Amino acid sequence: MATSPNPSARSKAVAKAETVAVAPPCAMVIFGAGGDLTKRLVAPALYNLVTARRLPDGFRLVGVDHGNRTVDEWRKNLTDMMNEFVAKRDGEFQADRLDQAAWKWLTDRMTYVQGDFTDPRTYSGLKEHLAGLDKTAGTAGNHLFYLAVADRFFSVVVAALGTAGMVSEEGGHWRRVVIEKPFGHDLPSARALNAAILKSLQEHQIYRMDHFLGKETVQNIMALRFANGLFEPLWNRQHIDHVQISATETVGVERRGKFYEVTGALRDMVPNHLFQLLALTAMEPPISFDAEAVRDKKAEVIQAIRPVKQPMRDAVRGQYDAGTVLGKPVNPYRREPDVAPDSNVETYVAWKLQIDNWRWAGVPFYLRTGKYLRRRWTEVAIRFHQAPYTLFRGTHVERMNPNWMILRIQPDEGIALQFAAKRPGPTMTLGNVSMDFAYKSYFATAPSTGYETLIYDCMIGDATLFQRADNIEAGWRAVQPILDFWAGNPGKGLATYAAGGDGPAAADELLTRAGRAWRPLE
């Protein structure tokens, strides 16, 4: 039984509807303890797990970083950041106030180890530190290593953990490693990284993190499809005309110019976030919700993506120019800090792809993502086939209205179903109506960064929401022809778009060629 402080009234409402077991005792080690990811997402997520009473007494948080600071300085740094989040309320962490008892419960369990990630002495010191916690703090010998570091350190840290004998599972103790994205930059690098970490770890010990999968509405896609006899019979090529998956942002590259210059929108968003939404939307029903059963079906969908033969026709890359976003003028991408003045890196990508299997043959999937667009919005929109018009000849109906199911991922989480209904009056005239389900209206939801579920799943050993090596490599294999074409044709087909708009006109042409159109970003 957890002895975390009493949860807030809102958390109690959640707990009443859902009983969740407390995680097993463990020491969680964060490499990159002083970094942005730890401050913005990991520490707030752990705080939310405390208020939800999901962490055990035998939990300890160990920070590892090159910064020469004390544990008190680390605690203060995180505390200042949490207070700033509460004051500004503009980050992933949202709360009216900081529960001081809950935060103290967490900070009292923090320790800190200073060291260079490339120095073997860091790992020998960490090993000794963890051994002490295992004896005195009740962590039961279970260790969760979280790599909140630059991707160039992923294989370095894993290899060093292996050399130090810190990831071998003996005596019933578990050892798990969380690896953030980007997991590779292309297919060869993803394969090389998988091969490198599998020298020290077994696949069941590896948790490849994609925080999109921690969002309730993403997980709800499976519940919507497989728990409702109403929808699954319609979920195929006989009834669906096409699918649009959008993840648009109102922010630019900000201070991440160096990162973005070697990454771009395609690498940054498509093989991970958008493909995860694609997989959940298009996967076949698994035989159970066992982790491997679900991951098998997700991998099959990504493996079934038709290889790109005409990148210029089926994929669009754009780069934002000057414009106005949310009422403020912004610079073009090429004038951002640490960006080359002649950069051909894309900040927007749209792609028409096909899935070559029985369920989806002939159904196009349209993906788009970009920065400095009109609206921050992530959704999966399913467009059903039009009803025949024949019946309505001779009426005031000029055309049939489309039917949509919209799965809103963020920021306004929910599901909408759009269909046609007769307008009041003596004539047959149709109007579009919507049935709308909003999460916040039906369920009491605790504050979440999207990381809470994923960290908790790492602790209990549930890998359902994490990517396997074959899934990662299948994603990179699908995008590799586009990456190769763009690398061999610098600047060819790169379209600019005004910041604060809907993206480049070339993206519209992907759909207008078939008489379709993007859902507006309004």
Please identify every residue annotated as catalytic: 273
- What's the CA gap between 223 and 210, in Å, rounded? 19
Q: Which two tokens mark 211?
A: 């925080």
What are residue 186's phi and psi, to 5 degrees?
A: -165, -175
Q: Which two tokens mark 174?
A: 């578990």
Q: Which residue type does 70 have?
A: T
Q: Indicate the Cα dihedral angle 76, 142, 118, 123, nearest 10°.
A: 90
Is the distance from CB of 190 to CB of 476 less than 8 angstroms?
A: yes
| DSSP for 46-60, written as a single string | HHHHHHTT-S-TTEE
Stretch (H or E) spanning 397: none
Residue in the structure block whose two tokens are 């309004």? 522
Residue in the structure block whose two tokens are 């009234």? 9
- What's the CA gap between 14 and 17, in Å, rounded? 5
Q: Which two tokens mark 497?
A: 């778009």
Q: Which residue type does 64 have?
A: V
Residue in the structure block whose two tokens are 């401050």? 39
Per the rule left: phi > 0, alpha: psi between -120 and 50, beta: everything else, 151 is alpha
Is the distance from CB of 362 to CB of 243 less than 8 angstroms?
A: no
Residue in the structure block whose two tokens are 């997980």? 219
Q: Which two tokens mark 422?
A: 């007769």
Nearest to 71 by CA among 22, 123, 106, 40: 106
Is the distance from CB of 514 to CB of 383 less than 8 angstroms?
A: no
Distinct helix (H) and strand (E) counts, the chain:
18, 17
Is the distance from CB of 385 to CB of 515 less than 8 angstroms?
A: no
Q: Which residue type does 250 have?
A: T
Is the distance from CB of 53 to CB of 4 less than 8 angstroms?
A: yes
Stretch (H or E) spanning 498: strand 494-498
- What's the CA gap between 282 and 290, in Å, rounded? 18
- 520 burial class (0-12, 13-18, 19+ CB within 10 angstroms)? exposed
SS3 146: strand
